[in-house]
Chain A
Amino acid sequence: MKKKRCVAMLLAGGEGKRLGLLTKNLAKPAVPFGGKYRIIDFTLSNCTNSGINTVGVLTQYSPLILNTHIGIGKPWDLDRQYEGLTILSPYTAKQGGSWYKGTADAIYQNIHYIDQYDPEYVLVISGDHIYQMNYEHLLQHHEEKQSDATISVIEVPWEEASRFGILNTHDDLEIYEFDEKPENPKSNLASMGIYIFNWKALRSYLVDDAEKDMSDHDFGKDIIPAMLDEGKRMYAYRFNGYWKDVGTIQSYWEANMDLLEEDLSLSLNNKEWRTYSEDTNYPPQYLEATAVVENSLINSGSWISGTVKSSILFECIQVGSGSMIKESILHPRVTVGKNCTINRAIIMENVVIPDNTVIDGADYDEPVVINEEYVEQLT
């Protein structure tokens, strides 16, 4: 088979523990986002828009909904005969088998997948970040610097730098040190968890790492430090756009609300950089005479009789008359009865909120997540 320039490995097996109820039954990349999407759609759309057509998606935690959503990659034009999208789940073989023990181990166990394409480079990305990025620019940077590994970085506020994996670089962006959550950061360039490796180099490090019992088999903790120790050429690539790790309920809620802002580099309406997703066949949304809608995103099939302000509504939502939805996120097929007040809440799929219910997330530290059990307790 023809040699490929770049294969993408998309890490989508994470549990996303800090998302609590949102990831109770599904993997973090499959969490609904932005009124229509799932988190992984942003990364998959980046691949398509960057011209990367060979993507291995590594799944592990609660993959049913994720697998159903991705299917054979059709929404991203990744349903191809020889390349395209492949779901790579943990497996057993003659010599046994095991779960993926870390990000590096997940790639290690799929070396045979990558080897089929004999690629020059491997792009390692993860399915739980919201951003729009052209990986081709990253790839060009990698080639120009004749780097063995290139890590995409974003400037974070200095006071927050100690929450991130920080890369210390020379002026030409060559990396000399990797600091995981440093107390006294020397730089504010945070790793975005997006790496490009020369496949030959990475492959040997993966094989070595797999033999180490003490290793966490993690890119950030093991592979990158090992490569730095041995003096590999490693460069940072500076990304200037919007990027958000939706790791917590608070950041998940913020990232959704960010979509209502107008001056971000991230836009769902950007025709040059479309965000693709599985599409549905629901009828147009219907706003009744009593509806008031401001500063919101609403998806098809929804029927609005009440007031919706600064909120994100997924498909087939019903908001009864006299109800007020504010700064909230309503997942697909949520029904809100009449005369309800909902503020700063995330309401999960299919939940029915009875008439006259009041839910105020301002009472809590972070936006409140409402599932069926919560509603049962209310009544």
Chain B
Amino acid sequence: MSKLMGLINLEHEHEFLEELTYFRCGAAAPFAGRYRLIDFTLSNMVKTNITEVAIFTSRKYRSLMDHLGTGGDWELARRHGGLFILPPDWNDPTDISRGDLRHFHNNRDYFHRSKAEHVLISGSQFIANTSYDEAFQQHLDTGADVTLITTSIQENLPEHTAQLRVEKDENGRVTNMTNDQNNHEVFSNAYIIKKDVLIDLVDQCIAFHRDHLLLHGVKENISKLNIRTFQYEGYSFFVNSVESFFRHNMNLLHPDAYHNLFFNNSYVKTKISNQPPVKYRHTSDVKDSLLANGCVIDGDISNSVIFRGVEVHKGAVIKNSIIMQRCIIEEGVHLENVILDKDVKITGGQKFMGSPEKPFIVAKRKVI
């Protein structure tokens, strides 16, 4: 059986979450009560029995490194292989590479050392709970150079605008990647590629001073490469803006969505913490909400996502909001359509309201 190695390439993911990404990269943004966005991709790789995963990151990665640690919580703390977080430490004086090719060029060893013959490359913004076993099997069976993981969308939402669409011929071979909004087969930004093809494309891109492996390496060689697609049928979505971040957190409050994302496959892995169960006190009233462990609740919460260790005091009301780790909401506070980043404290009696389209965001560690 051929082996697969993993790569999470964050180079082209800009910081899209306003205040939430002032001090962290998008991949490290908290999501769904106890996760970071990158947990989904990373867990999917681990579920595919990938035992070596590299992460290309060049900015605001402190929070990401803190979250991932040794990779042990994803079972990636290993004698051989495991997790490689590769921030830019580039010392090659002859280096002429650009864009994400700089990562590939300067981390060639990662690919050369591995016995794997195929590489799964992914970003962090495609959220699903799956394994890529079937996709990999199909990749091997068809002998494709590249297998693009795609998904078929029901309707065009704002988060789909920038996603590439895939065109195929009658044999299923990819003929073009476009921005055609009428084409509903959307590329997930995850693909499996033969390692030697990858290395060739990297060399070629660098030689021609190109700066984007997917667009200039894979896409421009569509006619020369055998590119196939694997369509993922399960529940999935993209998080690439404040609007989609908010909407998809809120979507998880629908029983079907919650079930489909979390219970249809083995559990999504994230950093283990050590929090006690949620404590609901006598005056609490909680409905239609997700809560992570460590919270102590005296107040009213509806339609909200509450992260680990949040305190909601008596008489406080939280509606349609996302409250991140260790926030303290004091007595009589009223919050609606609000996103509070970690460690925010809202002092007694205040009222904050945003709109579902434009939630009110409070940055980390503010005391208001």
A-side residues, CB < 8 A to B, are 34-36, 75, 262, 268-269, 274-277, 279-300, 303, 308, 312-314
Contact = CB atoms under 8 A, between A and B. Distances in A.
Contacts of B272: 279, 281
A284 B33 contact: yes
A283 B274 contact: no
User: Which of A285, A312, A314 has the largest count of B CB atoms less than 10 A from its CB?
Assistant: A285
Nearest to B39: A281
Contacts of B242: none
A283 B32 contact: yes
B288 A295 contact: no
Contacts of A35: 276-277
Contacts of B285: 292
Interface stretch (B115-123, B176-184, B230-238, B262-270): B262-270
21 contacts: A75-B274, A262-B281, A268-B276, A268-B279, A276-B274, A279-B273, A280-B267, A281-B269, A281-B270, A283-B262, A284-B292, A284-B305, A285-B278, A285-B291, A287-B286, A289-B287, A290-B287, A293-B284, A298-B277, A300-B34, A300-B292
A297 B268 contact: no
Nearest to A292: B285
Instruction: Give the 8 A-B residue pairs with the shortest CB-CB distance, closest first.
Output: A284-B33, A268-B276, A35-B277, A283-B262, A299-B277, A297-B277, A284-B290, A284-B292
A275 B276 contact: yes
A73 to B, nearest CB: 14
A293 B288 CA distance: 12
B290 A279 contact: no
Contact of B258 (A268, A286, A297, A312): A286
B280 A298 contact: yes
Given A295-B282, A296-B280, A285 B290 contact: yes
A269 B296 contact: yes
A294 B268 contact: no
A288 B274 contact: no
Contact of B286 (A281, A293, A300): A293
Given A279-B273, A283-B32, A297 B278 contact: yes
B263, B276, B281 pick with most chain A CB within 10 angstroms: B276
Contacts of B34: 283-284, 300
B267 A293 contact: no
B289 interface: yes
B346 to A, nearest CB: 20
B93 interface: no
A294 B280 contact: yes
Interface of B: 32-34, 253, 255, 258, 261-263, 267-270, 272-274, 276-282, 284-294, 296, 305-306
A294 B277 contact: no
B358 to A, nearest CB: 25
A44 to B, nearest CB: 12
Contacts of B279: 268-269, 296-297
Residue among B288, B293, B305, B306 with the highest chain A CB neighbour number at 10 A: B293
A296 B281 CA distance: 7
Nearest to B289: A287
A295 B289 CA distance: 17
A294 B282 contact: yes
A354 B231 CA distance: 39
A135 B224 CA distance: 71
B280 A295 contact: yes
Nearest to B305: A284
Contacts of A286: 253, 255, 258, 289-290
Contacts of B282: 294-295
A78 B345 CA distance: 35
A276 B262 CA distance: 25
A78 to B, nearest CB: 14
Given A283-B268, A299-B293, A300-B292, A36 B280 contact: no
A33 to B, nearest CB: 11
Contacts of A285: 278, 290-292
Given A262-B281, A296-B279, 13 more contacts: A35-B276, A36-B293, A268-B279, A269-B276, A274-B274, A283-B263, A283-B290, A284-B306, A286-B258, A293-B286, A297-B276, A297-B278, A314-B277
A139 B294 CA distance: 32
B281 A295 contact: yes
A281 B35 CA distance: 10
Contacts of A295: 280-282
A36 to B, nearest CB: 5
A49 to B, nearest CB: 12
Contact of A284 (B32, B281, B287): B32
A41 to B, nearest CB: 10
B323 to A, nearest CB: 12
Contacts of A287: 286-289, 291
